[in-house]
Amino acid sequence: MKQLLRSTFLIPAMLAALTLVGLVAALFGGGGFDILSWLCLGSAIAVIVLARIFAGARDQN
Amino acid sequence: MTSRTVRLWSLIHKWSSLICTVFLLMLCITGLPLILHDEIEHALDTSEPWVPANPDGPMLSLDAILAAAEANRPGEVPLFMSFDEDRPVVNVTSGPTPDAPGSQMYFERFDRTSGEIVPAPTGDGGVMDFILQLHTDMFLGLPGMLFLGLMGLLFTLAIVSGVVLYAPFMRKLDFATLRLNRSSRVKWLDYHNLLGIVALLWMTIVGLTGVVNTLAVPMLEIWQNDSLVDLTSEYGDTSVVTDLTSVQSAVDRAREEAPGAWVQFVAFPGGSWSTDHHLAVFIRGDTPATSHIVTPVLIEADTGTFAAMREMPWYMKVLAFSGPLHFGDYGGLPLKIIWFILDLFTIIILVTGLYLWLAKGQRKASASQDLNIAEFAE
């Protein structure tokens, strides 16, 4: 995990790949594809929320 | 990366951003209500839910609908006929001339079971139309549209240069570092970088598909000249066919060519989606993967005989996918909400970018110039 956070472009590249899957999935189907799309694209939003929570918690200490 | 390279990229980032920021802010802010326009219009619509006049009755022929539309707008010519998916409603767009611009077009909905006009949704008093127009061309027509396309290209350049600069900024920092208890400049720089790198691909795709959408008018012209010109070259007469064959039989004929396909819309002769001599019946596939690609079946407008079925060239397919990928309307309400949040992120990126530039300008007056990476990357 530490290694992952240390690397400049590893997580951004993973998020970009997830975004791409999310954008395309909903184009090619409904139902399960839509849910896959929401999860993949939602990951970007989740990262921001998590970053804010962790940064806030660290500042408390 | 040498400090020289960094300085060059930061110059590119600064100027590409500065030029497009005010327009991108306008696009992002007007984009927020546009993402949810279906939901907003539905919520504001106070009229009774519409029901067909004869729910179990037979469907009128498209010729009868066209006659109703012509009686409703005497002297105008039909331009497009399109079909609602979820109710028996045919939409007819008409105008004073076959090549009338969008501003002169008139759109009306007709009950397929009775030929009566279906009331338009009420509610927003044209506010959404105003927002859409501002977002599309700032009320400046094609030049405005192309200008916004150029701003979209600058935005893409700002994103690319931003990613290049992200590397030196983050060299000594973990991913997703937010230094909240530092100066507001450092804090907002961290937010700017994190939001930017996380929303990177979404912003790029929505930006570039927006650029493609601004090119729809020239692309249609290229398509006509490129793909349809051989169909018209055999005609000595260059005037637009006005004595039309039955639209119903043209649509029936087109469906024979592609069984199972949906008819998306019919374009009448003389407009930008057809030739001067053909009715273009646009069909689309009935599977999710093929439903975004329309294929025109061209029917001789005077005789009703089949002329050709032309698969769209690659650039028209790109245009077809640029619609949903820009609007985010292809994956239910959750996808729209995600679009909305990522749009908000983009607004924060634009505003913090502007703030960082202004804050730097203030500092510059007192101390060093240029971007000091060492200071940020402690």
| Strands (DSSP E) found in B103-257 | 106-111
Q: Evaluate whether residue B101 is within a structural domain.
A: yes
> Which residue on chain A is closest to B196 by alpha carbon?
A12
- Cα–chain-centroid distance for residue B18? 25
On whether both B12 and B70 belong to a single domain, the answer is: no
- Position B182: which residue type? R
Residues of A numbered 22-51 whose beta carbons fall under 8 angstroms of chain B's beta carbons: which are they? 23, 26-30, 33-34, 37-38, 41-42, 44-45, 47-48, 50-51
The number of domains in chain B is 2
Which residue type is seen at B361? G
**What does the longest C-alpha to C-alpha distance in chain A come to?**
47
Closest CA–CA distance from residue B202 to any residue of chain A (Å): 7
Residue A1 maps to a domain: no
A2 within some domain: no
Per-residue pLDDT reduced to its tens digit, A22-51: 999 998 877 899 999 999 999 999 999 999
Residue B190 sits in the same domain as residue B335: yes
* pLDDT value of position B125: 67
Nearest to B166 by CA among B193, B131, B198, B200: B193
Domain that holds residue A44: 8-60
Domain span holding position B197: 3-40+130-213+330-376
Crossing angle of the two packed helices B200-214 and A10-27, in degrees rounded to 10: 50
Tell me the pTM.
0.88
Q: How far is A21 from chain B (nearest CA, A)?
A: 11
Domain end (from B87, B120, B153) = B120
Q: Among A19, A34, A47, whose Cβ lies nearest the Cβ of B176?
A: A47
> Could you tell me the mean pLDDT of each successive run of 10 residues in chain B, 378 residues long?
90 97 98 95 82 89 96 95 92 94 91 92 79 95 96 98 95 93 94 97 98 94 84 73 91 88 92 91 81 88 92 91 94 96 98 94 57 47
Angstrom CA distances, B352 to A22, B16, B365, B374, stand at 27, 15, 20, 20
- A52 lies within 8 A of chain B by CB: yes
Residue appearing with tokens 């749009």: B343
Q: Among residues B80, B95, B120, which one ends one of the domains?
A: B120
Size of interface A-B (CB pairs under 8 A): 98
